[in-house]
Structure 1
Amino acid sequence: MRDNENKDLKTISLEISGMTCSGCSSHIEKDMNKTNGIVSSNVNHETGKGEFTFDTNKMGKEELINAVNSIGNYSVVNGIKKEDSFSSTSDTTISKESNKNKNQFDLIVIGGGSAAFSAAIKAEGLGLTTLMVNAGLEFGGTCVNVGCVPSKNLIRAAETAYHATHSNFKGIKPRGVDIDFKQIIKDKKELVSALQQQKYMDVVSDFENLTMLKGWAEFADKNTIIVNGKDKYSATNIVIATGATTNIPNIEGLNEVGYLTNVSLFDLEEKPISITIMGAGYIGLEIAQAYSRLGVKVRIIEFTDRPLRTQTSDITDVLVEQMKSEGIEILPNFRAFKFEKKGNDTIIHCNCPDGSTTQVIEKGHIVVATGTKPNTTKLGFENSDINLTKSGHILVNEKMETNVSNIYAAGDVTNTPPFVYTAATEGNTAVNNAFSLSKSSIDYSSLPWVVFTDPQIAGAGMDEIEAEAKGIPFEVSKLDLKHVPRALAAQDTRGFIKLIRNTETDKLIGARVIAPEGGELIQQLSMAIKFGITVKDLAESFYPYLTLGEGIKLAAITFGKDVSKLSCCAS
């Protein structure tokens, strides 16, 4: 039986105000096609008209017009006003101008970090009126204010101090270092302030269509937010980019004794005597090594069996050995269950690996680095029906779409990889897909990432555990740095390069590197994974001698040969 059999079909053309781009017409079509009785929709924002075919047994013209009027901020011209009842039959013209006001925008962006700014930049390029509403951290978000920029600045400062007291060469005797901790923090603050202005505020300073507000945004409905509990703003589409914050564990006494996070730690101008870091993920590890090298006694308490539990043990073994050699105390399989204050000391009650309990005394500060949680509370999601994951992240697909047709999300608030560069791509993608008929998707399969410890840990694609879980036929090549001429010349052979290939196609599907400045290798490996480069291609390419990159060639050769038996520059 044909689809249209037993249907009384009618097609009418309506003039629709409020459309500014192809995303608007796409939005109307998408919502109308979900409406009971609608057979097809064809909307053109350039002509301002929509053509709708509907089943007259299920709806009339009035219901059709009301259905259009119920979508976003659009109105049918010479139709029924949005404020009229469904029974109204009056013909009232609604002009585009009267439908717009100072609190109505094409796009609302909730948040003020990298994803939000990327979204705003894309929107400006499309000529969209945009409202950005930000609360919490200053505009610029985590990365520039309390994350990537300050942490890497302190890591580099600490590295300078470390090399002033340690040498890989017997013939070079370091004379030591004088550390002005207060000056280091002052310089860090100046850098953060400069980049926050230059890379964020100055970038949008001449935008003609962007309005920026400081305030807390809550959803009133899927098109409307209320800022600071009083002012309402509406938009055709909304992008949520509220980021994430430190996840504070619910442990007895923790709030009473006081604690620091990376937000407050990085602003301490007086060097702590010591710190105990709760958590051994990448944030905790970067903090630990940086502050240890700046002269702070550091202890790490980790409730799992080893630091950076997301990586294979061969990687973490190298890192643990290095950190212990620098005097950092690591307590794996220790779980804190109570904090209390005794004088100026903080007593941490812990369950030990053998089932007993112990007390750890911290004379300095407690630093919480137990992961992050998405900023999704108190946003009025009950008024927008947005789906969340079990961890509270906004559930999005590869197009950054939520389950609500006009609401998108980007950055650390979503269930996507939590990096500043992914957030920026996601913000751009969200706006593109919200206002364009040409949808784009994000592919994370070759995503590169780096942990800025020393040695650095970097990866792209999958590791051997992930390959096995997915049933992919694979083989692993692991090359210790003692076989890389650059590492031998520098007398620093800490770490290795590991490649994972698909044995059926010979294509590289994953890579892991732990090496001094190992992060500088990972982009090449990421590109090889993305574009289907084979291990044979990697092995047969030219690499400058005495570069760390040559290690990629040697690791590729290792699939078939013992490189320890090859001469320099061999292939």
Structure 2
Amino acid sequence: MSDYDYDLFVIGAGSGGVRASRVAASYGAKVAVAEEHRIGGTCVIRGCVPKKLLVYASMFAEELDHAGSMGWDLGELSFNWEKLRDHVNGDVDRLNGLYTQTLDSHKVEQILERATVTGPHSVKLSSGREVTAKYILVAVGAWPYMPDIPGVEHCISSNEVFHLEQLPKRIMVVGAGYIAMEFAGIFNALGCDVDVVNRTQTILRGYDEGITDRLLRLASARGIQFHMDSRLNSVEKMEDGTLCVDIEGRDQRIDTDCVLVATGRVPKTDGLGLETAAVDLGDKGEILVDEHNRTSCDSIYAVGDVTNRVQLTPVAIREGQAFSDTVFGEKPHTVDYDCIPSAVFSQPPMGGVGLTESEARDKFGSVKVYTSDFRPMKNIFAETQERGLYKMICDADTDKVLGIHMIGPETAEILQSAAVAVKAGLTKRDFDATVAIHPSMAEELVLLK
């Protein structure tokens, strides 16, 4: 008989927590998972999945605009936000059900309550019940950061944006990271007047500057208004519902219908009780872990965004897998964080894998950069003059590909295969030796000059 109620108690049923739970259970562990919101976590419920559906829907605006030059007479068109919103949230319900079924099929007990840590082996539920576990895994993710300014209660975060009662005619997006740029593109494509307020001159820090510069120009040409080196001072709601926004350094305030704050996400550790088990936190509230996801308390582990290592769903899933394989499956291994590809579903989309040009020059000194600056065939009959840009950064001495960065239609779909090549350590010669698929955008990767 075990000295504990459970072999593993997981706090948080997002991508990392669900993967860890079901894998641990498959090894014979008695597992429970507590979730205070909905099974599925940020990605499924209020993140990448519903957001990608909005991206797909908004892209129809451009496709339908191009349709006339392709011979289609579509007649009068209209867009219904409420119908899209309800369909997207209906799919979230479907996925929530599938995640629940997955846990049920692996005999993982689901507790739909908030759980807090009360010691190295104990957890207290919001109902007052206290349980014990040999191991505790914290996988509560991160939460949108909201600034401490007057009127912030009139703003929304990326949590609430999926539930807007109606499509705003005007929207202000605060921030210029991937969440901000994706929603700016969505609302711009759906016909909203979009202002982006960014505290620096740089969008999408961490991505290759050549690619982000291209996106900034294209987004501006599509009508998105950027206010750089700017910060929100206050938001005032007028009698007619208009939001009057005071921006630092501007003489005039900006009127809008909605303010979406997308300035990053912070680990959701407040009030979690980690101090009762002497779990060390970092400067941003993140849980500090070793390569095996173990915290400063030997019986408590953490995976996913709450560790603030790489805030990406596939990374959280791999961390959850590695945790359960190591602790319960006698298959110890760690996650390799090198060459993780990522995409921004902006309009047009962009992404990259490996080192950026500036990172490669800092690390290797001598590098070769190959590019293709082209107009996608799908734009040939369109009024838009938008061009795609692919970049390959190589070690000048070995010819090894150090990074690939792209902007253009279907970037993520193309980049995934290219990421395999970069991860495998292939050279520019390997790309050159590969026959192109013609006509395609992907063929530009083997024709770079």
**Normalised-by-shorter TM-score class:** over 0.9
Q: How many residue pairs are counted as aligned between the two chains?
A: 447
Q: Hey, what does 1:31 align to over in structure 2?
A: none
Q: Hey, what does 2:104 align to over in structure 1?
A: 205
Query: Structure 1's 168 and 405: CA in aligned 2 closer, same or farther, altered over 3 A?
Result: farther
Aligned mates of 1:380, 1:229 — CA distance in 2: 16
Q: Hey, what does 1:380 align to over in structure 2?
A: 273
Query: Structure 1's 486 and 357: CA in aligned 2 closer, same or farther, altered over 3 A?
Result: closer
Aligned pairs for 1:401-412 (under 5 A) are 401-412=294-305
- Which of 182, 185, 190 is the equivalent residue of 2:90? 190
- Is 1:307 aligned with 2:241? no
Letter aligned with residue 114 of structure 2: W
- Is 1:328 aligned with 2:197? no
- Is 1:358 aligned with 2:252? yes
Aligned mates of 2:393, 2:193 — CA distance in 1: 38
Q: Hey, what does 1:346 align to over in structure 2?
A: 243
- Is 1:215 aligned with 2:113? yes
Query: Structure 1's 174 and 297: CA in aligned 2 closer, same or farther, altered over 3 A?
Result: farther
Q: Hey, what does 1:148 align to over in structure 2?
A: 48
Alpha-carbon distance, 1:399 to partner: 2.4
Q: Hey, what does 1:40 align to over in structure 2?
A: none
- Is 1:429 aligned with 2:322? yes
Q: Hey, what does 1:79 align to over in structure 2?
A: none
Letter aligned with residue 345 of structure 1: T
- Which of 521, 524, 535 is the equivalent residue of 2:414? 521
Aligned mates of 2:25, 2:19 — CA distance in 1: 10
**Conserved 8 A contact 1:408-1:434:** no
Q: Hey, what does 2:306 align to over in structure 1?
A: 413
Q: Hey, what does 2:148 align to over in structure 1?
A: 250
- Is 1:543 aligned with 2:440? no
Aligned mates of 2:72, 2:210 — CA distance in 1: 31
Query: Structure 1's 498 and 106: CA in aligned 2 closer, same or farther, altered over 3 A?
Result: same
Alpha-carbon distance, 1:325 to partner: 2.6
Letter aligned with residue 243 of structure 1: G
Q: Hey, what does 1:291 align to over in structure 2?
A: 187
Q: Hey, what does 1:568 align to over in structure 2?
A: none
Aligned mates of 1:318, 1:175 — CA distance in 2: 34
Q: Hey, what does 2:260 align to over in structure 1?
A: 367
**Conserved 8 A contact 1:389-1:415:** no
**Conserved 8 A contact 1:244-1:373:** yes
Aligned mates of 2:325, 2:437 — CA distance in 1: 41
Query: Structure 1's 493 and 301: CA in aligned 2 closer, same or farther, altered over 3 A?
Result: closer
Unmatched runs of 5 consecutive residues or more in structure 1: 1-95, 559-571
Alpha-carbon distance, 1:163 to partner: 1.9
Map Cα deviations across residues 497-553 of structure 1 (whole Å, 9 max, x no partner). Answer: 111112232211211111111111211221112111111111111221112221110
- Percent identity between matched residues is 28
Query: Structure 1's 298 and 488: CA in aligned 2 closer, same or farther, altered over 3 A?
Result: closer
Q: Hey, what does 1:179 align to over in structure 2?
A: 79
**Conserved 8 A contact 1:494-1:516:** no
Aligned mates of 2:338, 2:106 — CA distance in 1: 35
- Is 1:117 aligned with 2:18? yes
Letter aligned with residue 446 of structure 1: C
Q: Hey, what does 1:461 align to over in structure 2?
A: 354
Map Cα deviations across residues 451-487 of structure 1 (whole Å, 9 max, x no partner). Answer: 11121111111112222333454222122124x7787
Letter aligned with residue 295 of structure 1: G
- Which of 273, 282, 286 is the equivalent residue of 2:178? 282
Higher relative contact order (CA 8 A, sep 6+): 2
Map Cα deviations across residues 234-293 of structure 1 (whole Å, 9 max, x no partner). Answer: 1111211001111001123322xx111222121123222221111121111111111222
Aligned mates of 1:546, 1:532 — CA distance in 2: 27
Letter aligned with residue 269 of structure 1: E
Alpha-carbon distance, 1:312 to partner: 3.6
Unmatched runs of 5 consecutive residues or more in structure 2: none
Calculate the TM-score normalised by the size of structure 1. Answer: 0.74
SS of residue matched to 2:305: helix
